[in-house]
Amino acid sequence: MAVRGIVPLCLRPGRVRRPRRAAGEIVRGAAASVGPVFRAAALVPSPPLLVPELTGRASVVDSLAGEVVRLRDAARAAVAMLGTATDRWIVIGSAEKSTRISSRSGGTFAGYGVDVRVGLSADSVTDEEELPLAALIAGWLRGEVAPQAAADVVLVGTDTPLERCRSVGEALRAEMDEQAGDWGLLVVADGATTLTAKAPGSFDARAEGVQSQIDDALARADTDALASIDRGLCAELGVDGWEAWQTLAGVVGARPMAARTLYRGAPFGVGYFVGTWEPLS
């Protein structure tokens, strides 16, 4: 079924120990130019369990209920910051094919078990649209903490090369500059799905090291470090956020950023990172 509002883009249970920064710690990163209209970025993962109605009664969820609440609260806080800074957003995620979704679009989590309806703006139409998970998560978080915001969604294809991801990000920055006003970015992306034996992708001993690289780079807003992470290895480990993070790097360019980590962990064997990036004045 075709998704209304989508036009061609021209341009995932156990914890894993790894080095952590304290939640809320601000780190100055040399992400190496962003126009003054770019105000902030929020980085969140896409587990449907962020939505309380979707938690169900599974024992594994019950045993990790506290961790799920911490993850959910962190995601809400990151997006609330974005909503304080600006009410015009571009959501960046990844998908099989590159697409763009209008802020007038809406959808439902019915495919995940409960008909929780969400929209990408106050004017969105939520009747029976089949939105990708990244767009649904963005719509739910917007409705929770920043209902005044309007968000277009840009999904970058999973076969997009590094330089193309960066050029898409640069084009998005130019788009923001041309339209003026204040803009924010909401990046919806997950890490490795292979961090424990019960993870969706099973266990891979290489995953913890790669996930630590990803988390450390995001915690420092270090776009050079992100670019150095092996894309082929990420694909083998189930990392679906690679393209989204590289596109974010293209938007940011060379401007130093203040990075804040709100959550990093793997409660279901999937690497989740929540944080914010803000340009340094």
pLDDT of residue 55: 84
Which secondary-structure segment (H or E) carries 236? helix 231-236
Does residue 9 contact residue 99 with C-beta atoms inside 8 Å?
yes
Lowest mean pLDDT among 8-22, 33-47, 117-131, 231-245: 8-22
pLDDT of residue 51: 96
pLDDT of residue 180: 74
Predicted confidence band of residue 37 (pLDDT cuts 50, 70, 90): confident
Mean pLDDT computed over 101-129: 89
Angle, helices 65-85 vs 133-145, to 10°: value is 70
Predicted confidence band of residue 125 (pLDDT cuts 50, 70, 90): confident
Selected residue with higher pLDDT from 58 and 129: 129
User: What distance in Å separates the CA atoms of residue 116 and residue 191, rounded to the nearest whole number?
Assistant: 25
Contacts of 29 (CB under 8 A, 6+ apart): 220, 221, 222, 223, 256, 257, 258, 259, 277
pLDDT of residue 57: 54
Which secondary-structure segment (H or E) carries 108? strand 106-108
* 180-206 pLDDT, tens digit each: 789 999 999 999 999 999 999 999 999
Q: Is 180 exposed, middle or buried (0-12, 13-18, 19+ CB in 10 A)?
A: exposed
pLDDT of residue 260: 98
* 130-151 pLDDT, tens digit each: 899 999 999 999 999 999 999 9
Lowest mean pLDDT among 5-14, 134-143, 154-163, 225-234: 5-14
pLDDT at 1 exceeding the cut of 90 = no
* 148-187 pLDDT, tens digit each: 999 999 999 999 999 999 999 999 999 998 987 899 999 9
pLDDT of residue 59: 53
pLDDT at 24 exceeding the cut of 90 = no
pLDDT of residue 29: 55
Find where tokens 């938690």 sit. Answer: 55
Which two tokens mark 58? Answer: 């599974």
